[in-house]
């Protein structure tokens, strides 16, 4: 095989990262990160309202900046001509309202500062009410349209967000021709798409978030949506009926984008997918091994042979879709709405006095204040981990619930809240931190338990992402709570590398993505083994965690009723 290069583009919650990869062996030639400037400034978001929106310009500017930077850093002669393909992954469900040309409304002058015309980030939970209505509506439907998404629709997903925006903003509703996932929009943009009706939609986003299924001949019919709310009448006819796996081509790079990026129009652009799905491939997923992409939230991915699980429906997960991870296999998704975000929340609470009071201390120079804050930001969670690891743990130690951003799996309910119990005057920051870490690990165990209870074995765990790489304390606790080894993948950028593997397949350099995964995979760097001395106590505390969850869930239901 001649030297060929591919580009994987990974859109995360805070930034976009591109990697330039040698398709022969998976070697990362160059990488580049672009932090969304509008998002970083907190524009168009309101955490108190659970509103998190992102401007399409953040995505477009980041796409151009990172790819051009990768090519420049490579220092390879005529690199633009050697790049064969680009594939993209994004967070999801992160949809946007578009016109008939497929242009996000926020790119039009009329809507440039309107959050409802922007991408509705996965973690936006403004549509909790709409999700509950969809669940109730489906109960009265003669066809169970939620059967392939775990039987419970989430406010994090496509239809709930669409309905909430339509109800909230008449101008946006009137201007909307269609509704598009981020992972479908970027390939459409790169290939110079001019009609949204011609956009190739990925089966990954369509099957897991939009209720698309072969059994339904596509999306549920118009009657299902029009009887849910007349505002949706006719919209399904402006969406899509066909879907594509991520090993297929969305088209070739347009002349405009070839010039902007310094590439050629022979570059093939792959069909897009969600970050966790491509990340599982980048992390060399195996059948019945749960690949945990651990970042701000977690996405837990599992693949299984179609003939072995096609008649098994797992209730309460985020869907099971033929070909959503590896074409030809059933892909199953679960996850936690807050993982790294739970630690970040505690970090913000603990740093609040410093951040807000240090500015008033005139004796400290501005440069010193900045250095002090940077040091605290960098070292706080590491120091908490060190101290928490030394603490004794008993059945009555502080206990937390990880639903700080609602519950994704099992049984999605974004209205639920986190909790901490067992507090006393001896409770300090390391003890609270340990309780939160335990809670995130207990939440992970609840997901494994649901798979196993409903007939899907989990043979092992694969850890991917920043938390897996950077926190031995959390990963060792995960192994202890799960009573199961967890292998940590070497790659720092499994999502972007997974996108590169799909790009190599789309370019025809490999026949199957499994072949690309084998040739380009980087392997594993370490394995955490359960420590027997902790397994028993965590098993007992897990029962307490479940009891606390049942109590909080009951109280939340009571509060809503009242």
3-state secondary structure 213-260: EHHHCECCCHHHHHHHCHHHCCHHHHCCCCCECCCCEEEECCHHHHHH
Q: What does the pLDDT average to over 322-346?
A: 95
**Quick check: helix, strand or coil at residue 97?**
strand
What is the rounded distance in angstroms from the CA atom of residue 195 to the CA atom of residue 188? Answer: 9
Task: Say if residue 559's pLDDT is above 70.
Answer: no
Residues 34 and 162 in one domain: yes
- β-strand partners of 461: 290, 486
Report if residue 113 sits inside a domain: yes
What is the rounded distance in angstroms from the CA atom of residue 127 to the CA atom of residue 146? Answer: 17
* Residue 361 pLDDT: 81
Angle (deg, nearest 10), helices 429-453 and 472-482: 40
Task: Say if residue 560's pLDDT is above 80.
Answer: no
Give first-to-last CA distance, the chain, whole Å.
67
Report if residue 426 sits inside a domain: yes
Which helix (H) or strand (E) element contains residue 381? Answer: helix 366-388
Task: Say if residue 1's pLDDT is above 60.
Answer: no
Cβ proximity of 436 and 421 under 8 Å: no
Return the minimum-mean-pLDDT range out of 129-138, 303-312, 361-370. Answer: 361-370
What is the DSSP code (8-state) at residue 288?
Answer: T
What is the DSSP code (8-state) at residue 301?
Answer: E
Residues 117 and 14 in one domain: yes
Residues 476 and 457 in one domain: yes
Work out the pLDDT band at 395, boundaries 50, 70, 90: confident
What is the rounded distance in angstroms from the CA atom of residue 457 to the CA atom of residue 289? Answer: 9
Angle (nearest 5°) at CA 553 between 549 and 556: 140
Within 47-169, strands assigned E span: 53-54, 83-90, 95-98, 119-120
Q: What does the pLDDT average to over 108-133?
A: 97
Report if residue 328 sits inside a domain: no
CA dist list (Å): 77 to 67, 89, 266, 379: 16, 28, 18, 41
* Residue 465 pLDDT: 85
Question: What six digits make up the tokens of 407?
Answer: 């519950």
Residues 512 and 479 in one domain: no
Question: What six digits make up the tokens of 265?
Answer: 């129009």
Region of residue 328 (left: phi > 0; alpha: psi -120 to 50; beta: else) = left
Nearest Cα to Cα of residue 180 among 95, 269, 116: 95
Report if residue 466 sits inside a domain: yes
Residues 507 and 535 in one domain: no
What is the rounded distance in angstroms from the CA atom of residue 35 to the CA atom of residue 61? Answer: 10
* Residue 418 pLDDT: 96
Residue 62 CB coordination number (10 Å):
22
Task: Say if residue 129's pLDDT is above 70.
Answer: yes
pTM of the predicted model as reported, rounded to 2 decimal places = 0.90
What is the rounded distance in angstroms from the CA atom of residue 251 to the CA atom of residue 263? Answer: 15
Compute the mean pLDDT over every residue in the chain, rounded to the nearest whole number. 95
What is the torsion angle, in degrees rounded to the nearest 10, for the CA atoms of residue 413, residue 417, residue 421 and residue 427?
130
Report if residue 136 sits inside a domain: yes
Question: What six digits make up the tokens of 405?
Answer: 């951003």
The number of domains in the chain is 2
Residues 257 and 160 in one domain: yes
Angle (nearest 5°) at CA 146 between 443 and 201: 95
* Residue 295 pLDDT: 86
Angle (deg, nearest 10), helices 56-74 and 182-190: 60
Q: What does the pLDDT average to over 426-441?
A: 97
Question: What six digits make up the tokens of 198?
Answer: 């011609």
3-state secondary structure 479-504: HHHHCCCEEEECCCCHHHHHHHHHHH
Report if residue 396 sits inside a domain: yes
Residues 425 and 454 in one domain: yes
pLDDT tens digits along 205-226: 999 999 999 999 999 999 999 9
Work out the pLDDT band at 354, boundaries 50, 70, 90: confident
* Residue 556 pLDDT: 55
What is the rounded distance in angstroms from the CA atom of residue 505 to the CA atom of residue 539? Answer: 43
Q: CA 63: distance to chain centroid?
A: 18
What is the rounded distance in angstroms from the CA atom of residue 113 to the CA atom of residue 110? Answer: 8
Nearest Cα to Cα of residue 316 among 295, 332, 331: 332
Residues 29 and 105 in one domain: yes
What is the rounded distance in angstroms from the CA atom of residue 267 to the CA atom of residue 204? Answer: 23
pLDDT tens digits along 40-61: 999 999 988 999 999 999 999 9
Nearest Cα to Cα of residue 266 among 1, 87, 86, 88: 86
- Mention every residue, 6+ apart, whose C-beta is less than 8 A from residue 307: none
CATH assignment at residue 85: 3.30.420.40
Report if residue 257 sits inside a domain: yes
What is the rounded distance in angstroms from the CA atom of residue 248 to the CA atom of residue 245? Answer: 6
Report if residue 205 sits inside a domain: yes
Residues 138 and 72 in one domain: yes
DSSP string across 396-452: TS-EEE--BTBB-SSS-BTT---EEE---TT--HHHHHHHHHHHHHHHHHHHHHHHH
What is the rounded distance in angstroms from the CA atom of residue 2 to the CA atom of residue 491? Answer: 24
Task: Say if residue 115's pLDDT is above 60.
Answer: yes
Residues 196 and 237 in one domain: yes
Nearest Cα to Cα of residue 551 among 337, 443, 401, 335: 401
- Mention every residue, 6+ apart, whose C-beta is less than 8 A from residue 119: 53, 54, 55, 56, 59, 94, 95, 96, 104, 106, 182
Q: Max alpha carbon distance in the chain (Å)? A: 71
Return the minimum-mean-pLDDT range out of 113-127, 268-282, 365-379. Answer: 365-379
Residues 259 and 394 in one domain: no
What is the DSSP code (8-state) at residue 48?
Answer: G
Residues 22 and 36 in one domain: yes
Domain containing residue 70? 5-283+491-524
* Residue 414 pLDDT: 85
Cβ proximity of 487 and 229 under 8 Å: no
């Amino acid at each position: 095989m001649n030297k060929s290069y591919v580009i994987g583009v990974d859109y995360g919650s805070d930034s976009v990262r591109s990697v330039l990869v040698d398709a022969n062996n998976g070697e990362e030639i160059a990488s580049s990160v672009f932090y969304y400037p509008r998002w970083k400034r907190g524009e168009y978001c309101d955490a108190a309202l659970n509103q998190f929106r992102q401007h399409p310009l953040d995505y477009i500017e980041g796409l151009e900046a990172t790819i051009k930077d990768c090519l420049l850093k490579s220092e390879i002669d005529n690199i633009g001509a050697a790049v064969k393909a680009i594939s993209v992954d994004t967070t999801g469900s992160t949809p946007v309202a578009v016109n008939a040309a497929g242009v996000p409304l926020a790119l039009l002058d009329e809507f440039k500062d309107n959050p409802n015309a922007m991408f509705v980030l996965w973690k936006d939970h403004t549509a909790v009410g709409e999700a509950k209505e969809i669940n109730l509506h489906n109960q009265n439907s003669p066809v169970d349209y939620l059967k392939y998404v775990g039987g419970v629709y989430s406010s994090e997903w496509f239809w709930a967000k669409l309905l909430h925006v339509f109800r909230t903003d008449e101008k946006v509703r009137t201007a909307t021709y269609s509704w598009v996932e981020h992972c479908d929009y970027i390939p459409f943009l790169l290939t110079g798409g001019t009609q949204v009706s011609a956009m190739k939609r990925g089966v990954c986003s369509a099957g897991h978030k939009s209720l698309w299924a072969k059994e339904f001949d596509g999306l549920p019919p118009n009657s299902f949506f029009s009887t849910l709310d007349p505002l949706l009448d006719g919209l399904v006819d402006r969406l899509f009926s066909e879907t594509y796996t991520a090993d297929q081509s969305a088209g070739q790079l347009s002349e405009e984008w070839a010039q902007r990026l310094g590439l050629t129009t022979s570059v093939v652009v792959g069909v897009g997918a969600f970050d966790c799905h491509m990340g599982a491939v980048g992390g060399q997923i195996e059948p019945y091994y749960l690949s945990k992409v651990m970042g701000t939230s977690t996405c837990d991915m599992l693949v299984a042979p179609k003939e072995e699980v096609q008649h098994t429906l797992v209730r309460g997960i985020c869907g099971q879709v033929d070909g959503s991870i590896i074409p030809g296999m059933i892909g199953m998704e679960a996850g936690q709405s807050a993982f790294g975000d739970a630690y970040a929340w505690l970090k913000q609470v603990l740093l609040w006095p410093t951040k807000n009071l240090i500015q008033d201390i005139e004796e400290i120079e501005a440069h010193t204040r900045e250095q002090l804050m940077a040091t605290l930001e960098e070292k706080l969670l590491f120091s908490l981990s060190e101290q928490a690891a030394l603490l004794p743990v008993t059945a009555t130690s502080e206990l937390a619930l990880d639903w700080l951003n609602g519950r994704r799996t099992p049984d999605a309910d974004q209205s639920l809240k986190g909790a901490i119990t067992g507090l006393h005057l001896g409770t300090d920051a390391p003890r609270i931190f340990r309780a939160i870490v335990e809670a995130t690990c207990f939440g992970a165990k609840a997901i494994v338990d649901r798979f196993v209870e409903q007939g899907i074995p989990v043979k092992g765990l694969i850890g991917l992402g920043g938390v897996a790489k950077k926190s031995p304390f959390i990963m060792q606790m995960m192994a202890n709570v799960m009573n199961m080894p967890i292998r940590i993948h070497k790659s720092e950028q499994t999502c972007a590398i997974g996108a590169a593997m799909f790009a190599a397949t789309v370019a025809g350099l490999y026949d199957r993505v499994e072949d690309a995964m084998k040739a380009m995979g980087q392997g594993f760097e370490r394995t955490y083994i359960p420590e027997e001395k902790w397994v028993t106590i965590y098993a007992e505390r897990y029962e307490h965690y479940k009891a606390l969850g049942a109590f909080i869930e009951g109280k939340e239901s009571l509060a809503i009723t009242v």
